[in-house]
Amino acid sequence: MAVERLVIDSGFLLESILPTRREWKHDADRLLEAMASGDVQAIVPWVFFYELASVCARKVRARRLDADTVALFFELLTQSGFQLDLALSGPGELYAQAMDMGCQVADSIYLGVAKAQDLPLATVDGGLRTAARSVGVELWKAA
């Protein structure tokens, strides 16, 4: 059986520990399990880990999340394995990409990776979903 490959934005996996909708948490948990079993390979841009750490630190400081939950989450992510896309761009290129794609700069980084590698994108972000559709990036759906 072939390994499924996709790009995942940080917000999608954060649903596992900071759920906003029950179905999104379910999808994030299932995707993490598939990654841990080797059935799915996640490709993420360099900004992915920064965003995860930033959100988790902010939520722990605000007491909306406990440090032990974050530690377990990060351990699970470490065991899941990721392919890291290290493509870097200067500020002018990032700006132009975001303007062309009609989205935030960080979102355009995820879209750029998905588009360049012709992979679906897993996201729960409404603006990112709209931008993905507008530039021809397929949205990943849980099976």
Phi and psi dihedrals of 85, rounded to 5? Answer: -90, 115
Q: Is the pTM of this model over 0.75?
A: yes
Domains and CATH numbers, the chain: 4-134 (3.40.50.1010)
For the segment 82-101, what is each residue's pLDDT rounded down to a tens digit?
Answer: 898 988 888 999 999 999 99
For the segment 38-67, what is each residue's pLDDT rounded down to a tens digit?
Answer: 999 999 999 999 999 999 999 999 999 999
> Tokens representing 114?
């998905």
The torsion defined by the Cα of 31, 78, 53 and 108, in degrees rounded to 10, comes to: -50
First to last CA, the chain: 15
Q: Which residue has the tokens 């979102």?
A: 107
CA atoms within 13 A on the CB side of 17: 25
